[in-house]
Each structure stands twice: as structure tokens, then as C-alpha cells.
Structure 1
Amino acid sequence: MTLLTVAVEGLATDVRLPDGDGPFPAVLVRTPYDRRRHRAELRGWARRGFAAVAQDVRGRHASAGDWHPYENEAADGAATVRWLRRQPWSDGRLVASGSSYAAHCALALALEAPEGARPDAVIAAVPALGTAETAREPSGVERLWARAGWWAAHGDRRDSDDKALEKALAADPELLAHLPVSGLPARLGRNLPSWPGVWRHRARRRPGSWARQAGTPLLAVGGHHDHFAEDTVALWRWWGKPSARLLMGPWGHGLVAEPGPDAEPAHRVGLGDLYARWARLALAGELRHGHGGVVALGGSPLWVPAGTEGEPYRPEVLPLRGASFTADPERPVLSGTLTVPAEGTPDRCVLVTAPLPHPLDVVGLAEVRLRATAGTPFADWFARLAAVTPEGMARRLAVGVVRRADPPGRPAEFTVVLGRLARRLPAGTRLRLEIAGHHFPAHARNPHTGDDPITATRLLASRREVEPGRVVLRLPVLRSRHESTDPEQEILR
């Protein structure tokens, strides 16, 4: 297999060709994380008969130009596709592939590039859909930890320092607590001019207005424990013709290389072979039209067809502590621990269920309906659901948040969407539901003043009241046992 390194419009590009005579179908990976990290992946594609291409995006590593995340990928990708299709080793067919930001590059190419410069199929794993989608929850609440880590590691620099935030926190454990959030670059000790622009993007793009125009097959791959899990499913749901497949497992952002605590041996999937077989069928036009795929059930070897939705189940949640509590941004509920204080002034409302009398297979969208009151006109409401074993060990199931602006002291009824669950809960498990005003540092603190959480320098405590009898937890539960679905069969049909 031959490895070539060339410059395409100033962009450093590796090409790995299969043995034998061409021309070949091609796979293109465009990445800000150093194309050289993909050389083993390129060899895998080449062994399977594909010309494999990896490219540093503009302004990163060996590529010329300036680095502006999420801005140039459609145009630069289109120029690369035109070049690729002119090469004697290319048969003109192309799969755009990538994970995280590289998945954004593949999607921008498929959805925004001119006709003739678009790929024939897309593999998007744990996709970063765009600036607003990665920086904010659907409610608009800011994802502080993930964005601070990414921008510290990769923002406004040609190379990467993956441990930049970790090292800064070792020097100053209160780094993210200092205000304003917009001043983070100075506390990191480096120039980061793009940081304020991250937060100016407030409107998340609706997948239905973006992905529905797609005209190529899609394979969307995600993990239940990945922070882009909801975006992965939304992309698949809204993808246009001709076909879309979803593969979701109990994994983190690293997919099978980062299994969650609920992963089973049955959830080990050989992604390299699966991607290549899917790509062959996609390029040949042999995939069945429509949406399909599989979702793994964490804590069980079961795989169910994508789109499976359990029937509504409303377990009784009983108040344990803190129907009245204080949401104080100076002492926020921490996102990195599931420990619930048993003494002192309550900082959250805690409710629990009785032990489950039998196992529950929870598959689908979960949510919490509540009636509550805030003492400030501006308030975030976080709902965190955990499974507590009979031994007292807690495991996070889901976190949801809404941002509200209600008259102080006036009760409001609203729903907090917890997201999609796919988990088997053993008999004896208790469900613990926490209602809080903060979830820090995963999310920026609402200052309760009406000021932008990114530029705010003043914080106020907010008195909260939750009516325990009006809290309704809705879980989608499979009422009958399902036979496990074969992942490869569903993806490749």
C-alpha cells in the first residue's frame, strides 16, 4: 500500500492507496486533530479496497492558513473533493467520514458544498453539529466544562495540547469558578481571541431545517454517554433520502474504545469492518431506503431496532429532602459527583422511588414534569436522574435543564426533558431524582440577575420551592421482552 503526502489548496493531505490496479472508491477524513493520527485508520480502509485520504483542516498542524472553527469546512472540503475526483486512482465515488469535529467536516461537505463536490455517502460518528450545538443545550444553557476543555486544547493554535485545561486546573482548582467566564483565556495564560465568539452563537440549528435536504446515505454512530448523543439521534431522525442508519451503544465520546459502566460483551462492535461493508453497499446503491439501525440496551446484551420507544411509566417519586432549597451560584450543585449532602441548608430537592419490584428496560425519551417556584425572575432548573443500587451505589442516568424567566414567587408548571435512555434497571434499584438550580462546572452558573452567564460578575442566591406532589417522572418502558437484534444485519440491510 502506497502512502502519499501532498498539499491540496495548501492543506496537508495523506493518501493511502490499496495494492493493485485502480481506480478505487475513496474515503475522506478532514480533521483538526492531526491527520497523522489517522494513518492506522487509512491502512485499514486501504486493506479493504478504498483509497483513504486524511487532511489537516485549514490553519491546523501542517496546513496553511488561519484556524477558524466551523467556518471554512464546506468550501475547503469541496475543493478537496474536486481535486480527489480528478486523480487517476479515484473512480469518482466518495465517502466522507469522521468523528466529533471531523464528523462536522463530513456533514458540512454533504449539506453545504455545491453540487458535484458533495460525497456519495457519509459516516458521522459522535458529530459536532456546529458552534451553538456544541456550546449550548437545546434550552440555551451553556456547556462550560466541555467547551472550556476543547477551546483550551485546540482553540486559536496550530497544534493541540489535550491536557491544557487539566494542567490549568492543577495550578488553580477554582479556575472555572472565577468570573467572568469570558475572562478564561487570561486565566489560562494564553491568547484565545475566538473564545467570546463561541457564546455569541445562541441559536442552535434545527436538524429538520438542515439535514432534511440531504441526498446521500448516512451512517450515524453515537454513544449513550457522549455529550453529543441527542444530536446524533436528531441528525439520524431528520436525515433526508435515500437512507439513514443509526448505531448507538453504551459508549462515551470514544465509542467502543470508551465503554460505559453498563457496557456488555455483546456491545463490542468491530467498527472498521462495519464501516467498510456499509460504505460498499451505500456506494453501490444497495441499502434499503428509509431509516433504520440499532440501539444497545446498557446493562443487558439486548439490541433493539432504532426508533424503539417504550410505553409511558410513571413511578411514584417520594420527597426525601429539600422541597424548599436555596440555589446559590456561589455554592452550586457539582456535576462531577453524585453525592447528596444529608445535612446543612438544602441546595436541591431530592426525591426517590421505592425499590423496583422487577427489572425495567427503559428505551426512549424520558422527562420530568413539575410545579415549582423561584424567588428570582431568572432561573435554571436542572433535573438529574440516578439509579441507586441496593448497596447504595449511585450511577447517573440522565441530566436535563430548562432556563425560565417567571415572576418571582409565582408557581410555574414546566417539563424538563432528560433525553433518550437505553438502560436495563435491575430489580431492587431505586431511582433518585434531584431538582437543582445549577450543575457546575458541566454548565455555567445562572447568576439569577438577568445578566449573561458568560459575562456576569455578580451572583445572587435564588430561593426555590418544589411541590413534591406535582412532580411526575415519565419513563419509556418496554412492556414485553424483546429478542436481541443483530447490529450488523440492521445497519447493512
Structure 2
Amino acid sequence: MASRTHDPAPAPTWTPPSGKPPLAARMMRATWRGLPAKRHDVGWEPGLVVPAADGSPLITDHYFPRDRGDFPTLLVRSPYGRGLPWSPQYGVLFAEQGFHVVLQSCRGTGGSGGEFDLWRNEPADGRATVAWLRRQPWFDGTLGTVGPSYLGYVQWALALDPPPELKAMVVQVGLHDPYALFHARGALRLENALAVGSGMTHQHRGAVPFLKATLRLQRRLRGVTAAQPLRGAYASALGGEVPWLDDVMTHPDPEDGYWRGASLARAAERSTVPTGLITGWHDVLVDQTFEQYERLRGAGCDTALLVGPWTHTSALQQGWPEVFAESLAWLRAHLCADPSGLRPTRVRVHVGGEDAWRDLDDWPPAASGTAWFPTPDGHLTRQAPTDSAPLTSFRYDPADPTPSLGGPLLSRTAGPRDNGTLEARDDVLTFTGLPLTEPVDVVGPVSARLAVSADTGHADLFVRLCDVDTTGRSVNVCDGLGRLGTGERAPSRISVPMSPAAHRFAAGHRLRWQVSGGAHPRYARNPGTGESPVDATVFTPVRITLHADSALILPDGCAPA
């Protein structure tokens, strides 16, 4: 008998729904200036249910161009809800440029089922969402991802085992290592922990609850961060206990099994997915972005880097026209075969002090390090000391901790600030160079090499580079934190990486190096006893001595001969 043949089943058809994007999203879209003209009207399909890896419902909104034809898809997965600002910034703006946008609430947030976990569910749930996409009649098989902060983390989670449809990523002010967000060499990044705890708990519930939670945290921040012990003190400020926050605060060791699998660095180390990276010099995740770039370059992956004059939040506010343009150009180049918007070089950085953009072939620029040395009279010089004798000392009192001021924070106080009040304190050492006779560029990695001792054997060392103008105003450029934790009272040598910089010191300005015992509440105060700062109830003042062979290391060629 002859075999019977069957015609292939007809492809499913899709009739676009008639819904318009939410009114709030359309109103916010109308307020933005400096963005490209829209190419398409936008439709909205809200409340779709996508099964997570364990079957939990992931609530998903679909934005799309109201035109015939195939369009690539962007996947945006968020633990912060699907309303403002994500709906206009990602749903509306990218759909009107010719993309399907799938905006999804992560497990346990924004109405999605299951329980939220800071990192364990994202790889599997991302893959499950792509499996769902393959069944949609409007999905043409070309996929990209885009998003900031934790929305960058979920992109790296998908890139661990990238589906063949994934052709491009844009990670904006993005996270890949939760441990490094909450700890720095064993020191708790206290302000980060509280801000992330508040955001993860309240932002997906809507703009009004999130605003109330933010204001409550601001009002109670001083009391929470001064509590003895810290453990559990945050509950009054965050509206209750947050179990995962307790866990991250009480596991300061990166080798602890608790953190196993949290870092997604390995995704970048072997990635072949073209990836655009965006950060700001005062972004709380700036160091992580530079690490991502280094790993992608090491893997031979097509990548680009944009670094603007932004904090974590201002990149998506004042910086949004540049961030959106960069993201759109990258996605069009790799999803739509349209490279016309790409810039000619791999790296573009904003140079502080000069207030100008600079294109670079790579990061960091080729350079070695030049040492600047402190002197007993508070100067900063390129003349190396002849010995390692004690230079000067100061007393750090955790009962009156050195405050944090500006820099890469999640709060509204982030960014460059006048450091005058901070530098007037007795527990802050400053070493200042002579007025420059010509402009000096610091472009590249910055670090400190410290020879220090502490009379209790336990101390933190906060170091900062500042630009002092002709009026004496001192403004922070970059900084970092190191730790003495051996209990030894003999002098120790520690290296403290500071965030990279791209800054021009104008003629007449001076370079200044700060050294202090902490920056509270950015970092939880060191109790001086070796006890965990989360559980400490006894605080011991520490005498910290800086030795003469300490040095600030700046990129070679950054100073006049």
C-alpha cells in the first residue's frame, strides 16, 4: 500500500490585540526629550502567563509594533514589577523602534508565582521563558536582551547556557556578582544591603508603596545603621524581616557555600553573544562592569563599553538619551543587521573635569602605574621615601565612625561631592600635590599600596582620590576599601584597588589622596575587635599608623615630568 503523505500543518496565525500601553507609560513617554522619533505605533498584551521552570506562573506583558512584518524580540525580566519606569522605558520605547518586548516579573515578584530568590532561579526561568517564546506565532527566532541592575543579572543567567536564538545583549549598570554588591573584602556594604532590601521588597508593588518605603528608609537610616547589634535592626525601616537579606549580611566570606553559584562571571568568560556594556563612573556596579568587559574581551567576544558621568540611577534618568541611543544602536546592529548607529571605537568614556567624551580603542589604555608618595607634612610627591618609618597616625572610633560622602552609592547622595567637611575631621588623613602647571589626565586603573599597622590588629582603610580646584574645593574622583583583619599589630602591606577613572585635573588644580578608617554607613563600621559588624555590641577605638612607603598608584603618563 502506498504511504500517505500529509501537508505540513499551517503555521499558527496571530491577531494583534487592540490594547494600548498603560496611560501612565504613555504620559511618561511624552515627557522625554532627545530620543529618536518613533517608527511604529505600539500595542500592548498584558497579563500573559508563562510557566517557570517549576511550573510557577510568570506574569508577562507583551509590547509590539502595530505593523505587518517580522520583528526581533527583546526579553526583559525584572523583580521590580512591570509598571513605571520599565513599561515606558523598555516596553514602549523599544516597541516603537521595531521590537517585540517581553516584560516579565521574576518568580515571586509582581504577581508571579513561587518564591523569589536572589539568584538561584534565574537561569532555569530564563530558559523556560525562551521555550515559551518559541511557541508564539509572532516570535521570528531572533532574540535579544536588555536591562539595568538586576535586569542585567538575569541576562547573564540566560547567557550561562545561551539559547541559539540569543543574538545580542545590552547590560546597563548591570550586576553579575551578588557577593560583591554586598561585601568588599569582608566588609559589609551596609547601605547597599538596605537599599536593595527595600527595593526588592517594595518596588514591584507599585510606585506609591515603593516611594513610601524609600522615604521610611531615609528617615530611619541613622537609627538602623547605628544599632548594636545590626542583626535584625533593619526590620523597622523595611517594614518587616527579609530572610534573604539576613543571609547576605551574615555571610561575609566569598568562599562560603552560601554564595556557591551566585556569581555569573563564568558566563562572560566563555560568551559568544555580542554584548554592549553601559555604566557610570559613580555607578555602584562600575567595578563589576569593567570586570565583565575584561572577561568578554578575554573570551574574544564582540563587545562595546560606554562609561558616562552617571550614578546607578542617573544613568536611567539624566543619562537616558545616551543610554537608550547606545542600546538601540547595538541591538539594531546585531538583531536587524543595521550597523549604521554603531560608533567607530570599542570604548567611549566621559572624562570628568574636561566634561567631554573620548573614544578609545580598548580599556584600559596601555599604561603602567606611577607611584605618588605621602610626606609627613601632608604633601603628595613622586619622590620615593628612603625608608618605611611610621609617617603619621590617626584614631578611628567606631562610636563616631567616619561618615561616607558621595561616590558610587545607590542613594540620592551618590556621585561627586565637596569633601571639605569630611577632610576637616581628625580621623581623615589628606596628602595633597602641588598646583599643576598643565592639565593632567588620569585615565585607567587607580589603586593604593598601603603599609599600615593598627594597635588592635583589626581596621578598615578607606582611600580616595580627589580633585582640588583653585578655590580649595575638594571633589571625589574614585575610591576603594581595604581591610586589616589578621589581628597582627606589626605593619602590614595591603593593596587596595580603587575604581578606574577618566578625569582631567586642570592646570592650577591639585591631586589629593585621602586615607581614613571607614565610610559609614556605606560600609558597616569595623568594631576594631575582629567580631562581625553584624553582631558586634562592643566597639574599640583603633590607632591606625600609616608608614612612609605607602603610595597612590596612578596610570603612567598622568603627570607632568
TM-score by length of 1: 0.87
Task: Choose which of 170, 181, 202 in structure 2 pairs with 1:134.
Answer: 181
**2:25 alignment partner in structure 1:** none
**1:332 alignment partner in structure 2:** 401
Counterpart AA for 2:122? E
Contact 2:423/2:429 (<8 A) preserved: no
Q: 2:339 matched to 1:283?
A: no
**1:348 alignment partner in structure 2:** 428
Task: Choose which of 326, 330, 349 in structure 2 pairs with 1:274.
Answer: 326
Distance 1:130 1:343 in 2: 35
Unmatched segments (≥5 aa) in structure 2 = 1-41, 52-56, 379-390, 407-418
Change (3 A) 1:451 1:53: same
Distance 1:43 1:342 in 2: 46
Change (3 A) 1:88 1:268: closer
**1:298 alignment partner in structure 2:** 352
1:181-260 matches, within 5 Å, as 181-188=230-237, 189-199=239-249, 200=251, 202-203=253-254, 209-239=266-296, 240-257=299-316
Contact 2:188/2:252 (<8 A) preserved: no
Task: Choose which of 363, 366, 385 in structure 1 pairs with 2:443.
Answer: 363
**Superposed displacement of residue 465, structure 1:** 1.0
Task: Choose which of 55, 69, 85 in structure 1 pairs with 2:104.
Answer: 55
Change (3 A) 1:304 1:342: closer
Q: 3-state SS of the aligned residue for 1:329?
A: coil
**2:145 alignment partner in structure 1:** 96
Counterpart AA for 1:202? D
1:433-444 matches, within 5 Å, as 433-444=513-524
Unmatched segments (≥5 aa) in structure 1 = 260-266, 482-493
Contact 1:141/1:443 (<8 A) preserved: yes
Contact 1:67/1:157 (<8 A) preserved: no
Distance 1:191 1:342 in 2: 37
Contact 2:449/2:495 (<8 A) preserved: yes
Change (3 A) 1:386 1:71: same
Distance 2:61 2:348 in 1: 33
1:141-182 CA deviation, whole Å, 9 max, x = no partner?
Answer: 211112111202323886262453542442563321112222
**1:487 alignment partner in structure 2:** none
Deviates more, 1:53-62 or 1:402-411: 402-411
Contact 2:202/2:213 (<8 A) preserved: no
Change (3 A) 1:480 1:52: farther
Contact 1:217/1:241 (<8 A) preserved: no
**Superposed displacement of residue 292, structure 1:** 2.7
Change (3 A) 1:309 1:223: farther
Distance 1:44 1:171 in 2: 37
**1:2 alignment partner in structure 2:** 43
Distance 2:95 2:236 in 1: 45
Counterpart AA for 1:454? V
Q: 2:480 matched to 1:400?
A: yes
Q: Identity of counterpart residues, as a percentage? A: 28
**1:485 alignment partner in structure 2:** none
Contact 2:160/2:266 (<8 A) preserved: no
**1:488 alignment partner in structure 2:** none
Contact 1:360/1:477 (<8 A) preserved: no
Contact 1:149/1:164 (<8 A) preserved: no
Counterpart AA for 2:105? D
Task: Choose which of 53, 57, 68 in structure 2 pairs with 1:21.
Answer: 68
Q: 3-state SS of the aligned residue for 1:272?
A: helix
Counterpart AA for 2:279? G
Task: Choose which of 299, 318, 323 in structure 1 pairs with 2:392.
Answer: 323
Distance 1:327 1:443 in 2: 14
Change (3 A) 1:480 1:21: farther
Q: 2:213 matched to 1:164?
A: yes
Report how many residues are paired.
467
**2:95 alignment partner in structure 1:** 46
Contact 1:207/1:235 (<8 A) preserved: no
Task: Choose which of 58, 62, 77 in structure 2 pairs with 1:11.
Answer: 58
Change (3 A) 1:254 1:74: same
Counterpart AA for 1:86? R
Counterpart AA for 1:76? D
Change (3 A) 1:31 1:381: same
Contact 1:309/1:363 (<8 A) preserved: no
Contact 1:323/1:350 (<8 A) preserved: no
**2:192 alignment partner in structure 1:** 146
Q: 3-state SS of the aligned residue for 2:533?
A: coil
Q: 3-state SS of the aligned residue for 1:181?
A: coil
**Superposed displacement of residue 283, structure 1:** 3.0
Q: 3-state SS of the aligned residue for 1:62?
A: coil
Change (3 A) 1:47 1:153: closer
